[in-house]
């Protein structure tokens, strides 16, 4: 099992999207890369904590490759928008790839570099060592399962199992 952390705007839709994918064992929404421990959603929304809404993805690399995960990730984000995805704006909605595993970071750095070499627009997806990750409140976990009509910037109808 491997773990990667992805920030792609509102974490509700990103979690639901990855929950539909084969090889994904577990997803957890939370707050990463911030300056305070155990922030609340309200604190993160102020933009003063420097956290980004992130999902922790635990995956079976025998069923889904890191390349496949990154391909899926880039299919649901706009990699050119800084601090925005869909209608959501603010530093908590920035995009990023984070890990504690140097191999994953090196791979994703090369992946982004290859994409950038073929693209005149500047890709603004962060690729950093995971500084921290704090689970979001329980009501955010699997939010769109609990609230099927909740807001999502991703068209999940294309991906449902």
Residue percentage of the chain with pLDDT more than 70: 99
Q: How far is CA 153 from CA 17, 23, 32, 35, 129, in A?
A: 11, 23, 20, 27, 26
For residue 3, what pLDDT band results from cuts at 50, 70 and 90? very high
What pLDDT sits at residue 161?
A: 53
- Known catalytic residue at 10: yes
For residue 156, what pLDDT band results from cuts at 50, 70 and 90? confident
Is the separation of the CB atoms in 12 and 140 below 8 Å?
Answer: yes
With a cut of 80, say whether residue 160 has pLDDT above it.
no
pTM attached to this predicted model: 0.96
Q: Which of 4, 6, 7, 10 is catalytic?
A: 10
* Angle of helix 66-76 versus helix 102-117 axis, rounded to 10: 50
- Which residue in 7, 112, 82, 85 sits closest to 51, CA to CA? 7
Least confident residue range of 40-49, 102-111, 136-145, 151-160: 151-160
CATH of 2-158, one of 3.30.1060.10, 3.20.20.140, 3.30.450.20, 3.90.1150.10: 3.30.1060.10
Q: How far is CA 113 from CA 76, 104, 106, in A?
A: 18, 14, 10
- CB neighbours of residue 65 within 10 Å: 14
């Amino acid at each position: 099992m491997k773990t990667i952390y992805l920030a792609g705007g509102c974490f509700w839709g990103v979690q639901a999207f990855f929950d539909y994918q084969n090889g994904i064992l577990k997803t957890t929404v939370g707050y990463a890369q911030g300056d305070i421990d155990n922030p609340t959603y309200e604190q993160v929304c102020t933009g003063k904590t420097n956290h980004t809404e992130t999902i922790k993805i635990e995956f079976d690399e025998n069923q889904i490759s890191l390349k496949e995960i990154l391909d899926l990730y880039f299919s649901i984000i706009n990699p050119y928008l800084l601090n925005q995805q869909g209608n959501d704006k603010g530093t908590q909605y920035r995009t990023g790839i984070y890990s504690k595993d140097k191999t994953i970071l090196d791979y994703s750095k090369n992946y982004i570099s290859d994409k950038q070499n073929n693209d005149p627009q500047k890709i603004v997806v962060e690729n950093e060592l995971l500084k921290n990750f704090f689970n979001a409140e329980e009501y955010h976990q699997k939010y769109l399962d609990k609230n099927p009509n909740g807001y999502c910037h991703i068209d999940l109808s294309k991906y449902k199992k």
